[in-house]
A = this chain, B = another copy of it.
Amino acid sequence: MKFCSECAHPVELMVPPGDNRPRYVCPQCATIHYQNPKMVLGTVPVWERDGEPQVLLCRRAIEPRYGYWTLPAGFMENSETTAAAAQRETEEEAGANIELGPLFALINVAHVHQVHMFYLATLRDLDFAPGEESLEVRMFTESEIPWDDLAFPTIHETLALFFADRARMRARGSDHGYGFHTQDITRPMRAAGEP
């Protein structure tokens, strides 16, 4: 941020009176420009077949991570709820007809100022189709999940949590018992010399 969005004067980075963090402040009109984390909302869209779950994934047609696989998800918009955002992204990216379930995972990605949340969802049918931001959409059983070609750590984490919950449910012969999970993703460690 270089200029005040209210009066176009150059902003200054300073700690406002009574605050304890540097903010972009306009010395002309005194507006304080706060910057806050964003929410990314998505779903784990599930289709049950012979007692085994299949999960819908989309192959990204956009950067970052073009060509990698993701759960349908995207930035939450103003004036919508977390549930509405998750449903909208699933329709936009996968053309999927879902019944939204409960919130399943909330994952902090503090170093990029994001919180990712995923709702469980049940596919009503298999009439999905890639939206503008997807190259391809298909169903995956647990053994088919392309773990090495997932787009983001939060996708890996959410799928791992989902199949762990399923394993626990299977072990006690229950169809119910998904948990609600909170996790933090920290910046990956890099070897010396890596950027």
- Contact check, A113 vs B79: say whether CB atoms are below 8 A apart: yes
When the two chains form the complex, which single residue of B2, B79, B102, B132 contacts A6, counting CB atoms closer than 8 Å? B2
**Which residues of chain B come closer than 8 Å to A115, judged between CB atoms?**
39, 76, 82
Which B residue sits closest to A133, measured CB to CB?
A: B18
- Contact check, B78 vs A35: say whether CB atoms are below 8 A apart: yes
Of the candidate stretches A51-59, A103-111, A142-150, A166-174, the one touching chain B is A103-111
- Chain A interface SS verdict (over half): loop
For chain A, the bracket of interface size reads: 35 or more
Whether A123 is near chain B, meaning CB under 8 Å from some CB there, is no
* A37–B7 CA distance with the chains assembled, in angstroms: 23
**Which residues of chain B come closer than 8 Å to A83, judged between CB atoms?**
108, 182, 184
Most B CB within 10 A of own CB, among A36, A37, A76, A106: A37
- Contact check, B6 vs A4: say whether CB atoms are below 8 A apart: no
Whether A77 is near chain B, meaning CB under 8 Å from some CB there, is yes
**Which residues of chain B come closer than 8 Å to A50, judged between CB atoms?**
none
**Which residues of chain B come closer than 8 Å to A1, judged between CB atoms?**
5-6
- Which A74-104 residues have C-beta < 8 A from chain B? 75-84, 102-103
List 13 extra interface pairs beyond A1-B6, A36-B39, A79-B113, CB under 8 A. A2-B6, A3-B3, A3-B4, A3-B5, A3-B6, A3-B8, A4-B5, A5-B5, A5-B11, A36-B75, A37-B77, A81-B110, A82-B106
A-to-B contact residues, CB < 8 Å: 1-8, 10-11, 18, 21, 33-39, 75-84, 102-103, 106, 108, 110-111, 113, 115, 132, 180, 182, 184
Q: Mind listing 17 A-B residue pairs with CB under 8 Å?
A: A1-B5, A2-B6, A2-B7, A3-B4, A3-B8, A5-B5, A5-B11, A8-B10, A18-B132, A35-B78, A36-B78, A78-B113, A79-B111, A80-B110, A82-B108, A82-B182, A103-B182
